Amino acid sequence: MRIGIRNITKRFGAFTALAGVNLEIVTGELVALLGPSGSGKTTLLRIIAGLDWPDEGQVFLDGQDASERSVRQRQVGFVFQHYALFRHMTVFENVAFGLRVNRRATRLGEEEIRRRVETLLDLVQLKWLANRYPSSLSGGQRQRIALARALAIEPRVLLLDEPFGALDAKVRKELRRWLRNLHEDIHVTSVFVTHDQEEALEVADRVVVMNEGRIEQIGTPKDIYDSPATRFVHEFIGETVMVPVSVENSTIVYKGIETDLGAQGLKNGPANLFARPYEIEVVAPNDAVITGKITRVHGLGPARRAEVVLGNNNIVEIDIPRLRELQEGQTVGLTPHRYRLFAAGG
Amino acid sequence: MSVVLGTLRPSSASKRARHLRDSRREPLLVGWILTAIAVTFLVVFLVLPLATVFHQALGRGFAAYIKALMELDALAAIRLTLVVSVIAVASNLAFGVIAAWAITKFEFPGKSALITLIDLPFSVSPVISGLVFVLLFGAQGFFGAWLQAHDIQILFALPGLVLATTLVTFPFVARELIPLMQEQGTQDEEVAISLGASGLQTFFRVTLPNVKWALLYGVLLCNARAMGEFGAVSVVSGHVRGETNTMPLYVEILYNEYKFMAAFAVASLLALLALVTLVAKIVLEQRATSE
């Protein structure tokens, strides 16, 4: 199902959870809503589901305005962070719930329900738990049952709210790979909320980065990581080296000295240079404008790091080659071979 | 040398262990005194009165006991008590579930006021609860003239007894449900609705099963209190023998007429109810924790 989100605004009292959000999700996509807590990502998911209502704006499902349609009528599968399995029902009955309460003409016979539930339990590879109660299941198993339950009604869209948030790191990793594979098998349009960037970048086709009720950037994981559109995205995702500079006549000026680095179209004024630790090369002090003193070299194996103090008490971490001889206390030059520039204070 | 070490070490370790264990315990004497006080208290204030009731009731033999209970007035009192408590418990069951549902699953203005109101009957003397109805429905009361004009009898009749009992036992079911439902939140309901369940389906298939033990427990307490209620019922009853006397009122009348054996015979039924309630409560609590 295609999902269109137009100008959605939602306030809780004085707090603005969503401020004019626009988003298009195409059929069969797996989209991550990524952001810190309070960024409005869960509110947006609940509005898509019909569990919350926007103050302004509309949700379109397959081109139709869904404002008049309740959560019952939207045919969405919603999976909560804490699973919310019905504790007084067996795993089988949990998965069968949506089929049993369905009052449409298509209500299935007992035999058909059994068959469907068993197929779903096969899909989540937990058929052997059919007669157990949720209290005897592990977190990962519960989440997979919650997913099977949501899939039972053949939802047109699957919405997952921090689906792996309550699990420990190892199970989390397994489960997200499993979810990715599952999505490739069944191809239902899916939106999941997460605050874990690694999870979003690994699983999703596209990532929507949110902050303070607004969308900062929409793009493929590669776009988001390699070409952050805003300072927030750069700092929120991956590691960041930040150097305060200024722009004069389309070139970057560092501490009053002009560099040969281009200003990427930024207007004159104070700015910040952003780069990843591996995008900066350590050179001789005379070969670069940006210089600093190494305070510490740490890390073994491929990930060796140097902490460099720039003149203004700004400590940055730079990746250094394995065999490069660097001493603590040594002054070095830093040359970014890739970087992004954002206006300061913006 | 090795033999000496081998025997010394375990013994000194166990000595240390015993010392540790001892240091975490009260001295023996204190333990005994505390236990004795608790047991004495229980015996004097609970076991002894209960035993007295049954002793007095059966004082002239089992045949006399049964005969006292088979008196027409006694049977009428038992029947009236059952009718009143069935109606009161049923209406408080409905009210309690609705109130708890509204308070815990929805946001609305005046919510905290409603929570406070539910507790009111706990903090008001039952006599006042009865008097309220006299002031409302009595001959000089607010609706008195109207009721008389339409020939409707509320006071000194079944409706008055039911109203007074319902008011006094008002909080029991809601009080049991609200904390549990608050803790459970609304997520299960949201899942059910998103899976296509209607409001009623959600209530009967998800909400109600989630609170069934607390609900039964609340009904149990509500019933025990409804059958045993004296103060409020006494004010609105009118004490018409064989007509408006519930069991507790009937016990008092018999007692005042020096029919001690009969009084205790009827009282023993109420005591039995208490014991049954207690056992049922224990069973319910075990079922609830095992789930």
Report residue B180's pLDDT band, with 50, 70 and 90 as the boundaries: very high
Q: What is the pLDDT of residues A55-78, one digit of tens each?
A: 999 999 998 898 888 888 888 999
Say if residue B123 is in the same domain as residue B247: yes
Q: How far apart are CA A60 and CA B8, in angstroms?
A: 82
Q: Does B192 touch chain A (CB under 8 A)?
A: yes
Say if residue B118 is in the same domain as residue B44: no
Comparing alpha-carbon positions, the chain A residue that sits nearest to B290 is A135
Q: Is residue B10 part of a domain?
A: no
Please tell me the distance in Å from B19's CA to the nearest CA on chain A.
40
Please state the three-class secondary structure of B4-52 as a single string.
HHHHHHHHHHHHHHHHHHHHCCCCHHHHHHHHHHHHHHHHHHHHHHHHH
Residue B183 belongs to domain with CATH number: 1.10.3720.10
Comparing alpha-carbon positions, the chain B residue that sits nearest to A136 is B291
CB-CB under 8 Å, A51 with B196: no
Q: Does A337 touch chain B (CB under 8 A)?
A: no
Instruction: Please tell me the predicted confidence (pLDDT) of residue B18.
Output: 56
The β-bridge partners of A310 are A292, A314
Say if residue B74 is in the same domain as residue B23: no
Roughly how many angstroms between the first and final C-alpha of chain A, as a whole number? Answer: 37
Q: Is residue B5 part of a domain?
A: no
Residue B6 has pLDDT above 50, yes or no: no
Check residue A19 and give left, alpha or beta (phi > 0: left; psi -120 to 50: alpha). Answer: beta
Residue B14 has pLDDT above 80, yes or no: no
Say if residue B138 is in the same domain as residue B193: yes
Check residue A147 and give left, alpha or beta (phi > 0: left; psi -120 to 50: alpha). Answer: alpha
Instruction: Please tell me the predicted confidence (pLDDT) of residue A190.
Output: 94
Q: Could you tell me how far CA B105 lies from the centroid of its own chain?
A: 26
Instruction: Please tell me the predicted confidence (pLDDT) of residue B222.
Output: 94
The three-point CA angle A15-A16-A20 to 5° equals 175
Instruction: Please tell me the predicted confidence (pLDDT) of residue B4.
Output: 41
Please tell me the distance in Å from A19's CA to the nearest CA on chain B.
24
CB-CB under 8 Å, B192 with A150: no
Report residue B204's pLDDT band, with 50, 70 and 90 as the boundaries: very high
Comparing alpha-carbon positions, the chain B residue that sits nearest to A95 is B195
Q: Is residue B232 part of a domain?
A: yes
Roughly how many angstroms between the first and final C-alpha of chain B, as a whole number? Answer: 58
pTM: 0.80
CB-CB under 8 Å, B195 with A76: no
ipTM value: 0.83
* Alpha-helical segments (H) within A16-157: 41-49, 71-74, 91-101, 110-123, 139-152
- Residue ranges, chain A, pLDDT below 70: 103-106, 312, 346
Comparing alpha-carbon positions, the chain A residue that sits nearest to B190 is A51
Q: What is the pLDDT of residues A143-159, one digit of tens each?
A: 999 999 999 988 999 99
Report residue B290's pLDDT band, with 50, 70 and 90 as the boundaries: confident
Strand A214-219 relative to strand A257-262: parallel, antiparallel, unpaired?
A: unpaired
Q: How far apart are CA A178 and CA A184, in angstroms?
A: 10
- A interface test, pick of B194, B208, B215 with most A CB neighbours within 10 Å: B194
CB-CB under 8 Å, B195 with A101: yes
Q: How far apart are CA A31 and CA A24, in angstroms?
A: 10
CB-CB under 8 Å, A86 with B209: yes
Q: What are phi and psi of A259, to 5 degrees?
A: -105, 175
CB-CB under 8 Å, A149 with B190: no
CB-CB under 8 Å, B194 with A97: no
Q: Does B195 touch chain A (CB under 8 A)?
A: yes
Residue B284 has pLDDT above 60, yes or no: yes
Residues of A within 8 A of B192 (CB-CB) are 86, 97, 101
Instruction: Please tell me the predicted confidence (pLDDT) of residue B274.
Output: 87
What string of DSSP letters covers B186-239? SHHHHHHHHTT--HHHHIIIIIHHHTHHHHHHHHHHHHHHHHH--HHHHHHH--
Instruction: Please tell me the predicted confidence (pLDDT) of residue A31.
Output: 96
Q: Is residue B2 part of a domain?
A: no
Q: Is residue B1 part of a domain?
A: no
Inter-chain contacts counted by CB atoms under 8 A, chains A and B: 65
Domain count, chain B: 2
Report residue B7's pLDDT band, with 50, 70 and 90 as the boundaries: very low
Say if residue B170 is in the same domain as residue B276: yes
Say if residue B68 is in the same domain as residue B202: yes
C-alpha distances (whole Å) from A5 to each of A29, A57, A173 are: 15, 8, 30
Please tell me the distance in Å from A37's CA to the nearest CA on chain B.
19
- Which one of B57, B87, B106 terminates a domain? B57
Residues of B within 8 A of A102 (CB-CB) are 196
Q: What is the pLDDT of residues B22-69, one digit of tens each?
A: 566 667 888 899 999 999 999 999 899 889 989 988 888 889 999 988
The β-bridge partners of A217 are A209
Q: Which of A70, A98, A135 sits opposite B195 (nearest CB)?
A: A98
Instruction: Please tell me the predicted confidence (pLDDT) of residue B3.
Output: 41
Instruction: Please tell me the predicted confidence (pLDDT) of residue B25.
Output: 65
Residue A79 · residue A46 · CB < 8 Å? no
Structure tokens at B56: 């007095």
Say if residue B53 is in the same domain as residue B66: no
Q: Does A82 touch chain B (CB under 8 A)?
A: yes
Q: Which of A71, A75, A152 sits opposite B193 (nearest CB)?
A: A71
**CB interface of A with B, residues 100-159, below 8 Å:** 101-103, 135, 149-150, 152-153
CB-CB under 8 Å, A101 with B197: yes
Q: What is the mean pLDDT of residues B126-151?
A: 87
Q: What are phi and psi of B44, to 5 degrees?
A: -65, -40
Q: Is residue B194 part of a domain?
A: yes
Residues of B within 8 A of A97 (CB-CB) are 192, 195, 197, 205
Say if residue B37 is in the same domain as residue B179: no
Say if residue B47 is in the same domain as residue B90: no
Q: Is residue B4 part of a domain?
A: no
Q: What is the pLDDT of residues B74-83, one digit of tens each?
A: 999 999 999 9
Q: What is the mean pLDDT of residues B206-225?
A: 91
Q: To which H or E segment does residue A246 belong?
A: strand A241-248
Residue B10 has pLDDT above 50, yes or no: no
Please tell me the distance in Å from B210's CA to the nearest CA on chain A.
7
pLDDT above 90 as % of chain B: 42
| Residue B49: domain span | 16-57
Say if residue B37 is in the same domain as residue B159: no
Instruction: Please tell me the predicted confidence (pLDDT) of residue B140.
Output: 83
Q: To which H or E segment does residue B149 belong?
A: helix B144-149
CB-CB under 8 Å, B194 with A77: yes
Instruction: Please tell me the predicted confidence (pLDDT) of residue B26.
Output: 66
Please tell me the distance in Å from B281's CA to the nearest CA on chain A.
21
Q: Does A84 touch chain B (CB under 8 A)?
A: yes
Q: How far apart are CA B269 and CA B78, in angstroms?
A: 9
Say if residue B47 is in the same domain as residue B108: no
A161 secondary structure, DSSP code: E
Say if residue B118 is in the same domain as residue B164: yes
Residue B231 · residue B246 · CB < 8 Å? no
B152 secondary structure, DSSP code: -
Comparing alpha-carbon positions, the chain A residue that sits nearest to B207 is A86
CB-CB under 8 Å, A153 with B196: yes
